Amino acid sequence: MNKKGAFTLAEVLITLAIIGVVAAISIPSVISNTQQQEFKTGLRKAVSVLNSAITMNMAMESETPYDNANLFGYLQRHMSVMKSTTDMSTWFVVESANGKYIVNSAFYTTDGMRYEFRNYKGVETSAAKGGVFRLYETGEPICIAGTSSRGLNVDNERDFDINHCGGCGSLGMPNNPYGTTKPPCMIMVDVNGDRKPNPANINCRYTSCIKPYKYSDPLGLKLTDLFTIMITDREAIPFGVAAQRAMYQAQAKK
């Protein structure tokens, strides 16, 4: 500062440089924290919407997810669906765990979320198809719209075809008050639809640009926009450490 009480050019430049360094360090952290909170809020909303759809089906059609063998169609009855497909690879190409590309069934709702259902359509007719996303925490395949009596560990993938599903129960869970004899179904929701981080290659239509999904840290310390949701005979529940931690942290901060 000079004798007249004004800052010199050097002092101003040094101050601006310090502000720039602080901003460069703090802004990415702020953006990341905001994004993480958005993912948690999105999961909460998705679970709420799914439970509302199940409740509406039970009230208006007297059908639970256990009664209806086609969860993909069952949920769409009472959700605001914008578009749907039984082969997601017609929209964009994502690499599966076995190096092929995913052909899941999926639908988008008007709030911008994407709900995916495992689908083995084309597994016997095309060497390129037959891909499936997996529960990264357990390594098990995610059931599509229904399950078989053998649960998640199946030898014949065709048991999970969208046209041959058997309803969603609570078999194997600590609480099964209705005594259902089928295990729960699993679906996956992308809470921000086609925005990154998933899919990272929304404009990809060919295997030359194929990329895998980016999943959350198994402990839920760093989330992505993908979450696994369990559908039982009566409700939708976040599945896995990451999804449950995100769900209940969001509720605690309400």
pLDDT per residue over 216-252, tens digit each? Answer: 888 888 999 999 898 999 999 998 889 999 998 755 5
pLDDT tens column, 137-188: 444 444 444 333 333 333 344 434 433 346 888 888 888 999 988 888 888 8
Cα Rg, the chain, nearest whole Å: 22
Q: What is the pLDDT of residue 156?
A: 40
Instruction: Give 81's strand partners.
Output: 109
H or E segment to which residue 118 belongs: none
Each residue's pLDDT tens digit, 1-16: 555 556 677 776 777 7
Q: For residue 106, give the nearest of 95, 119, 93 by alpha carbon.
A: 119
Mean pLDDT of 22-51: 80
Check pLDDT > 60 for residue 71. yes
- How much is the pTM? 0.77
- Mean pLDDT confidence for 86-107: 80
Predicted confidence band at 27 (pLDDT cuts at 50, 70, 90)?
Answer: low
In the prediction, which pLDDT does 57 show? 96
For residue 108, what pLDDT band results from cuts at 50, 70 and 90? very high
What SS3 class is residue 88? helix
Cα 73 → chain centroid: 18
CA atoms within 13 A on the CB side of 187: 30
What is the three-class DSSP state of 25? helix
Q: Using 50, 70 and 90 to split pLDDT, how confident is the model at 113?
A: very high
The pLDDT, as a whole number, for residue 224 is 92
